[in-house]
Chains A and B, each alone.
Chain A
Amino acid sequence: MPIGTPIWRLRPHQVSWLQVGPLALVLVALFALPTLLFVVVSFFDYDRTGIYPAFMLDNYQELLTTPATYRVYLSSLKFAVIVWAITLLLGFNIAYFPVFHVRGARIRLVLFLLCAVPFWTSAIIRTIAWIPFLGRNGAINQLLMAVHVTSKPLEFLLFSDFAVIVTYVHLFTLLMIGPIANSLSKIDPALLEAARDAGASRWQTMVNIVIPLSKTGITLGSILVFTQVMGDFFVVKQMSGGQSASIVSQLSTEIQAMQYPPAAASSVVLVLFVAVMVAGMMRIVDVRKELLG
């Protein structure tokens, strides 16, 4: 036994608990309990002046019988699927290039930094950055008119579903690139060489080796992009020009009107919805095992 070892020693799992304890405490106090609280409040009664403890399902009944609820869920889901597909396609190919095609480690680092740096600036700024770009007199329209592609400015560019999707892709592609690049960089290049030597085409190598081995990154990236779009607060509000609403911005209107029980009920529905989707995606890979090695 080395000198300086105290006679009493904590057992390994006790040390772990001491180390993880503060995190667990914060998550329980500031995440689990508040979540439980709005679950409880979602069954409460309310009027103009306050909320009253009760157990009633009226808030849910009202929410689930309003056509507007389905409309906003459908519209958010549509955005989520489109943005997921675009960011996955972009993110995978963009992550592939530095990992497998760039030979110098320094250039690889620079490329990743270039992709990551905009993430360090405010999402609000990055959203409004598209307004002078896509607007009626914006950069794109002026360019298109200068090269005579169109004679009058295109109106659909700004304050439309198109603008919303462009902004989402701009904001969230990095969430795909990061995890996928992490998975790709763990693939042994010798494996790809072996596949080629064995006569596999580039496409076969991609489908049978690279994609299955980057499953973890694809899943993690998909979860992040999906939950970001479903939880979006201001992109839809700002970029759709009032044509569509997001689930969360609708919810915040209720909160601002102090209608806590119905807001809590729609929170519960949204959380359940997101949780079911995320749980479904997490069935594909054991995220915990993959992350902790």
Chain B
Amino acid sequence: MTPRREKRPWTFYALGSLVALFLLFLYGPMMVIYLLSFQGPNGGTTFPMSGPSIVWFEAILHPGQMANIPVSFVRSLSLAVVVSLLTVVISVAAGLGFRRRFPGSGIVFYLAVASLVMPSLLVGFGIGLGFQVLGLPSGIFTSALGAQLTWTLPFGLLTMFAVVNRFDRAYEEAAADLGATRWQTLIHVTLPILLPGILGVGVGAFTLSYDEYARTVLTAGSLNTLPLELYALLSSATSPTLFAIGTITTIVSFTLLGGMLMLVARMQRRRASLVL
């Protein structure tokens, strides 16, 4: 122990307990869901548990009431991939553009904020109406994609603000002084330095899209995404299958998040070794 280490004030213990209790509050109910998804065949949606089993996971794959779950799962995943790619390209470009004030920058900024705070269902309502007026059919990769972008792009933009704020422009100036063109500077200097933040935008957009409900419900057309399917099941069926789906979607999200964190950690280690 270093002698400089002083005694903790009472607030340390008070706030520490608060954080611990909050984490319990945050994770407790979800743990119950994960546990109950292994409910026995005769068990219901509450305790007691009747033996661990995977019948409810199997039920997802069986034809019948759950027939649409695997299809909508794949649909949601592919939509999320497209949304996150578009979000990365558009919001990274915009984040870089916003580093200087330009005529009209205020309007675009407030438009993005408005789009973020607008009640989600209303965005879907407006877009759905628009497609009807234009005589276009709504679809997953047209209207629903557009509706989700009004949510993921402002999120991506705000994330990029935090990312570019921490970026030291001296790197770009140094590159220019060494004779790099703007394009070379962007590709070889700016983007590699911002990469961890850009990945964050991508993963964030992916999960926002993958779990989106209120913007998608009026724009998806006749086919359902996974959250829509899940919501439909919610009102018709109360079986632990819902919990099993919850467990699977959580695993998907966590795998993605974990993979991204590992990638960023590896990048930072490599970068640290390059500096040394």
Contacts and interface: CB of A to CB of B under 8 A. Distances in A.
A90 B261 CA distance: 27
Contacts, number: 274
Task: Place the interface of chain B in its size category.
Answer: 35 or more
Given A23-B108, A101-B15, A124 B130 contact: no
Contacts of A170: 25-26, 29
A22 B98 CA distance: 13
A270 B122 contact: yes
Contact of B100 (A16, A26, A173): A16
Contacts of A291: 158, 161-162, 165
A123 B165 contact: no
Contact of B96 (A19, A117, A267): A19
Interface string A209-249: 00000000000000110010011011000100000000110
A137 interface: yes
A118 B26 contact: yes
Interface in B176-217: 176-177, 179-182, 184, 207, 210-211, 213-214, 217
A22 B113 CA distance: 16
B155 to A, nearest CB: 11
- Residue with the highest number of chain A CB atoms closer than 10 Å, among B11, B12, B245: B11
Contact of B46 (A138, A267, A288): A138
Contacts of A27: 108, 111-112, 115, 150, 153
A117 B94 CA distance: 27
Contact of A223 (B103, B117, B149, B256): B117
B29 A129 contact: yes
The 5 closest A-B pairs by CB, nearest first: A34-B126, A19-B97, A231-B119, A125-B246, A13-B102
Interface of B: 8-9, 11-12, 15-16, 18-19, 22-23, 25-30, 32-33, 36, 45-47, 89-91, 93-94, 96-100, 102-106, 108-115, 117-123, 125-127, 129-130, 133, 146-147, 149-150, 153, 157-158, 161-162, 165, 176-177, 179-182, 184, 207, 210-211, 213-214, 217-218, 227, 230-231, 234, 242-243, 245-246, 249-250, 253-254, 256-257, 261
